[in-house]
Amino acid sequence: MPKTIKITKGLDIKLIGAAEKTISVIQPQIFAIKPTDFIGVFPKMLVKEGDMVEAGTPIFFDKYRENIVFTAPHSGRVLELKRGDKRVLLEIRMEPDSFNKQIDFEPANPESLTKEQITGKLLKSGLWTLIKQRPYNVIANPDISPKAIFISAFGSAPLAPDYDFIINGRGDDFQTGLNVLKGLTTGKVHLNISDTTTAPEFLNAKNVEITTFKGPHPAGNVGIQIHHISPINKGDIVWTVNVQDVATIGYLFKKGVINPEVVIALAGSEVLKPRYFKTIRGGCIKKMVESNVSNAELRYISGNVLTGTAIRPDNFLGFYDNMVTVIPEGNYSEFLGWALPGFGKFSTSRSYPSFLTPGKSYVMDTNLHGGERAFVMTGKFEEVFPMDVLPLQLIKSIIFEDIDLMENLGIYEVEPEDFALVEFVDTSKTNIQALIRKGLEIMRKEMN
């Protein structure tokens, strides 16, 4: 029997528009790699506009760590290098062809390879970029051996895709991927499953330590799981990989080529037919949302509503994202909104009647529902933050940039996503996730 860890603090935000369990396959007209998806990476281009690329062709590398190479997931033609302010490279747009010519990286059994051989194959194929390091959530450093590797096998965020469904039928790839990861660490590979999972791919996984998690969001956040299994101390390095990316890594070792596809959920109250899509990593979302959303003014989010990135409806999936959420924009002003009883509005405060109907799902928009204020209320953050870290005190230490205090209060253990609910419930409407990222960046620069 795997060990069960119960998370008691947290919050499940029930939203309307969960994805129906059917998969539509689409071939996007364009796909893109967005260097902004990778923290701390400074791209040096290896291709130019008009070049033809194969699946696995290096597109750019990181100026600071030249062995970290980013490759094309699918063959096609480079359309455009889109730049933003100060010529920051935002997107490398590519047009997929119909035949997907793939570079052969040769299949191999990870269990008969050394750590160096595994690392070399992953770096060469560009799939190394799927492995991330905590603290800081940057792409892992191939030269070290992590304390452990963690995989969260369930999402608990609002409308999160069902990983049981996504992994269905890819058990072999997934297990091979786990074997690959096992070869990268002298420690354990932790597979953290939900107490409700029924997927044999997870329940029967080998070469891993399985831990069951039970409780509300953020129980599915890998950072929360790490904290409860083996918290990150100063000097510790652990790695994390998304479930689907483990299968993609496994596919490389089984077939020798890059699997271009990802399965993602399209969800949210404004989606007419919320369902799953099979598309190219970094694919344009246009075909999914076209004539499949309501007529209101909408926000398109690559990722979930708590941590995702706002994108335009003709823009691209984030590199690590496994869902797209569409919700209404909230740019209206509401007459006496703070004073009215507020039926049909969701709140953790019992000054709204929503606590009387705990099972109800809601439509939520992007309105801030109030003005920014100083921190006044206390004790609210702790209710949705299941870590032995003092959230308010850590946030304040970041505001005044006290590096020692940040370290002492546990900044290495947290990621912005772990503070998403804290930000959600915050009465003073502070952008807390951005603050946490700022704190982590200060530490990363200080420590390197």
Partner 1 sequence: MRSLRRFLDNIKPQFEKGGKYEKLQSTFDAFETFLFVPSHTTKSGSHIRDNIDMKRTMSVVVIAMIPALMFGIWNVGHQHFLSHAIDVDFWDKVVFGLWKVLPIVVVSYVVGLGIEFAFAQYRHHEVNEGFLVSGMLIPLILPPDTPLWMVAVSTAFAVIIGKEVFGGTGMNILNPALTARAFLFFAYPGEMSGDKVWIAEKADTYSGATPLAEAALGTSNPSVNFTHSISDMFFGFMPGSIGETSTFAILIGALILLVTGTGSWRIMLSVVVGGIFMGLVFNLIGLNAYMDVPFYYHLIIGGFAFGTVFMATDPVTASQTNTGKIYFGFFVGVFAVLIRVFNPAYPEGMMLAILLMNVFAPLIDHYVVESNIKKRLKRVKKNPELQAKLGAV
**Least distance in angstroms from the C-beta of 399 to partner 1:** 12
Nearer to partner 1, 200 or 337 (CB): 337
Cα(247)–Cα(181) distance, rounded to whole angstroms? 11
**Least distance in angstroms from the C-beta of 14 to partner 1:** 12
Q: Which two tokens stand for residue 135?
A: 């603290």
Cα(159)–Cα(161) distance, rounded to whole angstroms? 6
HSE-CB of 382 using CA atoms within 13 angstroms: 8
Single out the residue of 126, 52, 38, 93 nearest to residue 316, CA to CA.
93
**Least distance in angstroms from the C-beta of 434 to partner 1:** 5
Q: How many CB atoms lie within 10 A of CB 430?
A: 17
Nearer to partner 1, 201 or 417 (CB): 417
Q: Are 304 and 157 contacting, i.e. CB atoms less than 8 angstroms apart?
A: yes
Q: How far is CA 16 from CA 237, 271, 292, 299, 363, in A?
A: 38, 10, 15, 15, 6
**Least distance in angstroms from the C-beta of 424 to partner 1:** 5
For the chain, report the end-to-end CA distance as a whole number of angstroms: 41
**Least distance in angstroms from the C-beta of 441 to partner 1:** 14
Nearer to partner 1, 51 or 407 (CB): 407
Nearer to partner 1, 92 or 289 (CB): 289
Single out the residue of 11, 259, 288, 241 nearest to residue 125, CA to CA.
259
Q: Which two tokens stand for residue 173?
A: 């790839």
Cα(414)–Cα(436) distance, rounded to whole angstroms? 8
Nearer to partner 1, 107 or 344 (CB): 344
The alpha carbon dihedral of 254, 255, 259, 263 has a sign of negative
Cα(64)–Cα(205) distance, rounded to whole angstroms? 36
Nearer to partner 1, 60 or 419 (CB): 419
Q: How many CB atoms lie within 10 A of CB 245?
A: 22
Nearer to partner 1, 182 or 217 (CB): 217
What's the 3-state SS for 132-194? EEECCCEECCCCCCCCEEEEECCCCCCCCCCHHHHHCCCHHHHHHHHHHHHCCCCCEEEEEEE
Nearer to partner 1, 26 or 39 (CB): 39
**Least distance in angstroms from the C-beta of 138 to partner 1:** 19
**Least distance in angstroms from the C-beta of 234 to partner 1:** 6
Cα(191)–Cα(167) distance, rounded to whole angstroms? 14
Spatial CB neighbours of 268, under 8 Å, sequence gap ≥ 6:
15, 17, 159, 274, 301, 305, 324, 325, 326, 327
Nearer to partner 1, 25 or 377 (CB): 377
**Least distance in angstroms from the C-beta of 159 to partner 1:** 11
Nearer to partner 1, 226 or 280 (CB): 226
**Least distance in angstroms from the C-beta of 352 to partner 1:** 6
Nearer to partner 1, 52 or 355 (CB): 355
**Least distance in angstroms from the C-beta of 344 to partner 1:** 10
Q: Which two tokens stand for residue 301?
A: 């989010």
**Least distance in angstroms from the C-beta of 105 to partner 1:** 34
Backbone Cα Rg of the chain: 22
